[in-house]
Structure 1
Amino acid sequence: MLLCIDCGNTNTVFSVWDGEKFIATFRTATEHTRTADQYFVWFSTLMDHEQLSVNVSECIISSTVPRVVFNLRVLCDRYFGTRPLVVGKPECLLPTESRVDDGTIVGPDRLVNTAGAYDRHGGDLIVVDFGTATTFDVVATDGAYVGGVIAPGVNLSLEALHQAAAALPHIDVTKPNVVIGTNTVTCMQSGVFWGYIGLVREVCDRIRTEYAASWNADMRVIGTGGLAPLFSSGDVLFDQIEDDLTMHGLTVIHKYNKDKNPT
């Protein structure tokens, strides 16, 4: 079975793929000091709790935090007896190479989202991912990543607001009942919620206009990340919401590499 590992700036997700579906998904906080042994104890304990017994024989890793990759490699080698495929490394082939400025390093998460979205929806897409950063990935007709936009993430913005303004509390992200807040919390909730609705709509509209001028094609918008359903409830922002897009992209890239190198 295939173990897919997606390491983001905030959380790390492990999912086990049996060739047809994900049979287990576990999430933990990203900590660069966590050792391979600690990862294995955490993972195996949760697998035992779910009463799952699987033979992991292959692994693929996507990580936006370079410092954790070494220990994840050791985990795969020591406990699963396999050399992991690492997205972004030269030996990891992509179904379609990115078309960006020379010397630009595209984040592995964006490459994986592009592969997953193209596999499910074809090209001419905007993929909006609500993570530590809010990213907009432009997927061309042939499935290539051709650029995008990076904005501060929702929770990152809230944390910065709290730290910079001592009188403003930590709040939960939620859809407010009204736009005009009548206390500090509802004012902040309205600003964050409707502010990000406006951000997503405006950025997507401008991408569509620019893309149509260059490629003469309409675009669909795919939302992913934990907050995508919440923000979609405030407006019709997305043509489709995918809760497992990143993990699906990892399976797509792994299969592509396996087909190219069947040994």
Structure 2
Amino acid sequence: MAVVLAIDIRNTQTQIGLVLDGVLVARWTVPTDSSETADGAIGVVLQFFEALERGLVRLEPAAPTRIDLPVEAPLSDGAIISSVIPMLTDVWTRAAQRLSKSRPLTVGPGLKTGLKMSLTDPAEAGADRVAEMVAAKTAYGAPCLVVDLGTSTTFQLLDDKGAFRGGIIAPGMELGAQALARGAAQLADVELRTPKSLLGRNTAEAMQAGIVMGEVARIDGLIDMIWNDCGYEAPVVLVGQHAESIAALLAHEATVDQTLALRGLMELYALNKK
């Protein structure tokens, strides 16, 4: 049984996927720690494996009903990493190398993607965005528009010819909430959830309406602008924090796919290990 780790490091969260014989069977999400060490990263993987053995991890639909990891676990046959935080790339690379039998692959220049890039400088494309585009092309075909809700809200378009055409990067909801709390003396942090009504009856509700419904309006508006710019419509896929709640509020139909990046990493690993 081939055991591969797919590791997706974002500004806010780090997600680890367990891939058995080319199938994503489970995932583990932890807060991203900018002060993480290789020893600490190994500990995160060990916690993931222990929780899996105790039945505390929800398995993916394609997973077998029972997962028996190799006796020598947590050793894996390999790993692939996408990271948007350069100083953590090396940390997790060293950790993954100690956990596996070979040096892990890292998404970046030199890695084959099988993806056409209509970008001024393809090297600037974030590793997470590349992984999502690879998986989106396989799962949804072309064209396809992926909206990723994280520290930033990003839009990336796979055009009708199957090329990564470009995208939009905007501040995410969490950043918006933090900016309000820091910049306005009388406004405090609020929980980001769907407001009870569009017009808040108190400060917290008004902030929730502005941040959450403002994000919904921005996404709906930018989808229309992107469609108008490229001259055709495309399926919309939402990923990231609050994707489920935002998708339910959009005027546009959208599919939520929280394993998109990990499946993209899985495909990139298979492509580069041939």
What is the TM-score when the length of structure 2 is the normalising length?
A: 0.88
In structure 1, the residue matched to 2:204 is 185
In structure 2, the residue matched to 1:240 is 255
1:96 & 1:103 partners in 2: Cα distance?
Answer: 10
In structure 1, the residue matched to 2:14 is 12
Could you report, residue by residue, the CA deviation over 1:145-190 in whole angstroms, capped at 9, with x for unpaired residues? 1101011011111011111112111111111121111100110111
In structure 2, the residue matched to 1:222 is 237
Shift of 1:20: 5.0
2:118 & 2:38 partners in 1: Cα distance?
Answer: 35
Of 46-55 and 8-17, the range deviating more from structure 2? 46-55
Q: Secondary structure at the match of 2:124?
A: coil
1:20 & 1:184 partners in 2: Cα distance?
Answer: 49
In structure 1, the residue matched to 2:41 is 39
What is the TM-score when the length of structure 1 is the normalising length?
A: 0.91
1:162-181 map, 5 Å: 162-181=181-200
Query: How many pairs align?
Result: 254
1:80 & 1:187 partners in 2: Cα distance?
Answer: 50
2:161 & 2:108 partners in 1: Cα distance?
Answer: 19
Q: What amino acid maps onto 1:157 in structure 2?
A: G
2:264 is the alignment partner of 1:249: yes
2:48 & 2:141 partners in 1: Cα distance?
Answer: 35
Q: Secondary structure at the match of 1:197?
A: helix
Q: Do the aligned partners of 2:13 and 2:31 also contact (CA within 8 Å) in 1? A: yes
1:145 & 1:2 partners in 2: Cα distance?
Answer: 27
2:176 & 2:222 partners in 1: Cα distance?
Answer: 17
Q: Secondary structure at the match of 1:233?
A: helix
Shift of 1:239: 3.1
Shift of 1:103: 6.8
2:128 is the alignment partner of 1:109: yes
2:49 & 2:5 partners in 1: Cα distance?
Answer: 12
1:154 & 1:135 partners in 2: Cα distance?
Answer: 12
Of 116-125 and 236-245, the range deviating more from structure 2? 236-245
Q: What amino acid maps onto 1:53 in structure 2?
A: L
Q: Do the aligned partners of 1:58 and 1:84 also contact (CA within 8 Å) in 2? A: yes
Q: Do the aligned partners of 2:135 and 2:264 also contact (CA within 8 Å) in 1? A: yes
Q: What amino acid maps onto 1:240 in structure 2?
A: T
Could you report, residue by residue, the CA deviation over 1:197-225 in whole angstroms, capped at 9, with x for unpaired residues? 1100111101001111xxxx431211111
2:104 is the alignment partner of 1:89: no
| Over 4 Å off, 4+ runs | none
Q: Do the aligned partners of 2:117 and 2:165 also contact (CA within 8 Å) in 1? A: yes
Gaps of at least 5 residues in structure 1 are: none
Q: What amino acid maps onto 1:40 in structure 2?
A: I
Shift of 1:104: 5.7
Q: Secondary structure at the match of 2:147?
A: strand
Alpha-carbon RMSD: 1.6
Of 114-123 and 40-49, the range deviating more from structure 2? 40-49
Gaps of at least 5 residues in structure 2 are: 54-67
2:267 & 2:15 partners in 1: Cα distance?
Answer: 17
Could you report, residue by residue, the CA deviation over 1:20-44 in whole angstroms, capped at 9, with x for unpaired residues? 5333321222223211111112211
